[in-house]
Amino acid sequence: MNAKQVEAIALTTLLLSATAAPAQIPPPPVTAPIPQPNPSSSLVVPAPGEVPVSPGAPLGSTTGLWYYRSFCSVFDHGPCFPRYFPPIGQDLRLTIVSTDDNDPARKVDGDADTTAQDHTLDSISQMYAALRACWVPPPKDKARHGMQYTIRFALKRDGEMIAPARVTYASHDASSEVRDVYCDAVNATIARCTPLHLSKGMGGAVAGRPIAIRFVDDRTIDNAKDPQ
Domain boundaries, the chain: 30-86, 92-217
DSSP 8-state assignment for residue 219: S
CATH classification for the domain delimited by 92-217, as one of 1.10.10, 3.30.1150, 1.20.120, 3.40.50: 3.30.1150
Helix, strand, coil distribution of the chain in percent, nearest 5: 30, 15, 55
Residue-level pLDDT, tens digit, the chain, 228 residues? 677 777 777 777 776 665 555 555 667 777 766 555 555 444 444 444 444 444 444 444 444 444 445 556 667 666 666 566 656 667 899 999 999 887 766 665 545 544 455 679 999 999 999 999 999 999 988 999 999 999 999 999 999 999 999 999 999 999 999 999 999 999 999 999 999 999 999 999 999 999 999 999 999 887 544 444
Q: Evaluate the omega torsion of the peptide bond into residue 37 and state whether it is cis, within 30 degrees of 0.
A: no
Please state, in angstroms and rounded to a whole number, the distance separating the CA atoms of residues 211 and 131. Answer: 11
Tell the burial category of 147 from Cβ atoms under 10 Å away from its Cβ (0-12, 13-18, 19+): buried
Report the predicted TM-score, pTM, of the whole model to 2 decimal places.
0.57
Tell the burial category of 97 from Cβ atoms under 10 Å away from its Cβ (0-12, 13-18, 19+): middle
